[in-house]
Structure 1
Amino acid sequence: MRFVILISILFSIFCPAKGQSNNKSVIKGVIDTIPYTIYFVKYKNQGNMISDTVALDDQSNFKYIATISEPTIFNIAIKNIYNKNYIGDFVIYSFWIEPEKTIEFNGYKGWLINGARGLIPVSNKFDIKNSSLDSIEKLFNKNKLTAIVTKTEQLGRDLTNDELIKVIREQSDSFISHHPNNYYGLYLISKFPDNTNKHLNDRNNMFKKISNDLQKTYLGKSILQKINIGKIIEIGEILPEFQQKDTTSKVVKLSQFRGKYVLVDFWASWCGPCRRENLNLVKAYQKYRSQGFEIIGISLDENKAEWLKAIRDDELKWTQLSDLKSFKNSVAEQLFIRAIPDNFLIDPNGVVLAKGLRGDNLNKELERIFKSTKSR
């Protein structure tokens, strides 16, 4: 009950502003590290990734002004020089910022800890004031964890992936039902998986509960468009034809890969999770290529040199395509890709078998496919 009451107070502050005159978010912060240190920052506005830097002054303070039309997650990162097994920059602080607000941020050191394969970052070493969504997210995650633990204890075992998704869906659905005017509900829908038709239906049903004002925001329109695209490209439908230039500027078409199982993989050199997932893709490609498995990588890079370097560094031996237009990539827009990594797995006839497969989920699906083909 405390969660519902506190969220109610917070969401009453954060209904979408009509006639909004100021899209500035001011982050006034101090980071308990070396004065004059420069950090990388990344955040999104209207679907575009903004990359910038902030520099501390002699007292380790900084002030940054972000132009955003809607709430977004603000990441502060450092260059990864600590762990060759960890691909990408280290995000050391990650928090919500909102338009027309001044966020007070206090970052602490100690954000590198020993992982199984070397130093890794943790991004919760900070205090923050005046971010409603950050407070909401902390409460939601606390309740979600409690629900997962409770379900685990009831069953007396670890949850399967489907059971875990069900618990998260129930928590998300409950939040949205109680707070249809809260932007965080939109965020929950945007992060919900869509690799099965059932997941797409769940997303659609949750979106219908969101207020009209929120549905008209950029994120709301993006979710609706993805739902509509999902209805066209459902599991069992043929993935539409596309074409794009490869690393040598040769035009490659999807239809050239008929007769093979193909993973159409969206990624970018600057995307840490994508680069880490590349390790899994390399292993899968080596294991199943001889059995008729191919990958088409579609990069949302803008810088060709960085794109080619990532291909070399990660040892990606499969077809790589890009028009170097970031999220405006023509294939990404055609298939409505708004976050990466993302992918479609299609059969030899181009029929979509699954979406958004990563890690063990991809490995299990490929194992199932190629076991069944061997038994024929």
Structure 2
Amino acid sequence: MKKSITRTCIVAISALAVFSCQPGKTKQLQLKGKIPGIDKGVFFIGPVSKMDPDYKGADTIRLKNGTFTYSCKIDSPQVYMITGNMATGEPGLLFWAENADVNMKVSSPQLKDAVFTGTLNQQDFTDYIKLQNQLSDQQAAIFKEAESLSEQDTVKRELLRKKYEDFEKGQRNGLGDFVHQHPATVISILALNDLFHQPSVDIKELEAAYNGLTKEVKAMPEARQFGHDLKQTIALQIGKTAPDFSLPDTSGKMVKLSSFRGRYVLLDFWASWCGPCRQENPEVRKAYQQFRDKNFTVLGVSLDDKKDKWTAAIAKDQLTWTHVSDLKGWNGDVQKRLYLISGIPANFLIDPSGVIVARDLRGAELAARLGKLLKL
């Protein structure tokens, strides 16, 4: 699902987003650019975390004879976006905004050809965006292939699942390598946050990448926040007690995770709009049918925000176990703060005493692990 990488990138970027554009005597961001083939026009610019189709958080750039100059005081260095028209889907340009001179060079009227130069951080950010684009293209190709498969194409689906697992491993390695290669730049905090949100990331990978940062970078507020989140992540590792919570089911009745004590339970985070989740549902259903009479069940937690789509997906995919949701999408306390969910599908296999014994089981892995645990 292409949204997953895009969203992860924006989550990481938004973590650095504190902004203010106002007149001042101190040095400002000075962005200069020239767009050949366009004499006049209006573009929008602003912090990526504040951009929306209505441009409520954006400033404007007006071209005169194909050139422009934009000044803004940046209170905290962060990612900015320049875009022509978000409503029509025109892709935005991301660049690193700080109080320095930055140049935008475009070789054609197509904004996608723009190159930003001027600071070392901008060069590091350019490298980071190149990595993100490469990963996004690889992921999109896999999802396109998945769309052509039916539920009956079990062999091809299993091969594609393994292909996606290899992609996820390469993605983690790529992000980790970026941090190790850029230990003295704030851009590595973006990459660390991105790595932090990858499915099945090894805590040791995160610690190694974080510990490789320079003291100066670690002293930044964003790095300190990451260190705090890293400690929270440790609380969700295998061998730790799963944090308890209560959420309403499809009828509005509150369901508590601890009420499943005494059974193995798969805590499954998913959503009706999530293609990979829907692709995984037949495997979860198969495991549920095989082990439901052997002290196992599933508790589905949806990241939907519309009840009708949530319940329709449950019925269509024949998911007959308990389902709960606060219908707050990504922003519910359970998914966002308690379990730090930033990519789905995601799951936790919890034993009868409430301890996490496995995470992010995919495909036949769930049934295989249950078979060993239940000694069947």
* Superposition TM-score, scaled by structure 2 size: 0.57
SS at match of 2:340: coil
Offset from partner CA, 1:100-127 (integer Å, 9 cap, x none): 46674869899xxxxxxxxxxxxx9442
- The aligned counterpart of 1:224 is 227
Q: Where does 1:172-187 land on structure 2 (aligned, <5 Å)?
A: 175-187=178-190
What residue identity is the alignment partner of 2:228? Q
Are 1:44 and 2:43 an aligned pair?
A: no
What residue identity is the alignment partner of 1:189? L
> Are the aligned partners of 2:78 and 2:98 in contact in 1 as well (CA < 8 Å)?
yes
Q: Tell me, which stretches of 5 or more residues in structure 1 are unaligned?
A: 1-16, 81-89, 111-123, 145-158
Q: Where does 1:157-306 land on structure 2 (aligned, <5 Å)?
A: 175-192=178-195, 199-258=202-261, 259-265=263-269, 275-291=274-290, 292=292, 293-299=297-303, 306=305
Give the number of the structure whose residues are more often strand, by fraction: 1
What residue identity is the alignment partner of 1:365? E
Distance 1:64 1:279 in 2: 46
> Are the aligned partners of 1:96 and 1:133 in contact in 2 as well (CA < 8 Å)?
no
Quick check: 214-223 or 63-72, which moved more?
63-72
> Are the aligned partners of 1:95 and 1:134 in contact in 2 as well (CA < 8 Å)?
no
Task: Kindly state the Cα deviation for residue 143 of structure 1 after the two structures are TM-superposed.
Answer: 11
Task: Kindly state the Cα deviation for residue 336 of structure 1 after the two structures are TM-superposed.
Answer: 5.4
- The aligned counterpart of 2:346 is 343
- The aligned counterpart of 2:128 is 137
- The aligned counterpart of 1:128 is 115
- The aligned counterpart of 1:363 is 363
> Are the aligned partners of 2:80 and 2:96 in contact in 1 as well (CA < 8 Å)?
yes
- The aligned counterpart of 2:153 is none
Are 1:71 and 2:78 an aligned pair?
A: yes
SS at match of 1:190: helix
Task: Kindly state the Cα deviation for residue 204 of structure 1 after the two structures are TM-superposed.
Answer: 0.8
Q: Where does 1:3-152 land on structure 2 (aligned, <5 Å)?
A: 43-44=48-49, 51-54=52-55, 69-72=76-79, 92-93=91-92, 95-100=94-99, 104=104, 125-130=112-117, 131-137=122-128
SS at match of 2:183: coil
Distance 1:161 1:207 in 2: 26
> Are the aligned partners of 1:323 and 1:330 in contact in 2 as well (CA < 8 Å)?
no
Offset from partner CA, 1:79-135 (integer Å, 9 cap, x none): 79xxxxxxxxx784563443446674869899xxxxxxxxxxxxx944232443442
**Cα separation, partners in 2 of 1:42 and 1:98, compared to 1, 3 Å:** closer
Quick check: 215-224 or 21-30, which moved more?
21-30
**Cα separation, partners in 2 of 1:209 and 1:298, compared to 1, 3 Å:** same
* Equivalent residue for 2:356, pick from 352, 360, 371: 352
What residue identity is the alignment partner of 1:44? S
Distance 1:243 1:184 in 2: 37
**Cα separation, partners in 2 of 1:25 and 1:339, compared to 1, 3 Å:** farther
Distance 1:227 1:315 in 2: 33
Q: CA RMSD in A?
A: 5.3
**Cα separation, partners in 2 of 1:326 and 1:163, compared to 1, 3 Å:** closer
**Cα separation, partners in 2 of 1:180 and 1:243, compared to 1, 3 Å:** same
Alignment coverage as a number of residue pairs: 301
**Cα separation, partners in 2 of 1:78 and 1:173, compared to 1, 3 Å:** closer
SS at match of 1:263: strand
* Superposition TM-score, scaled by structure 1 size: 0.57
Percent identical among aligned pairs is 12
> Are the aligned partners of 2:53 and 2:86 in contact in 1 as well (CA < 8 Å)?
no
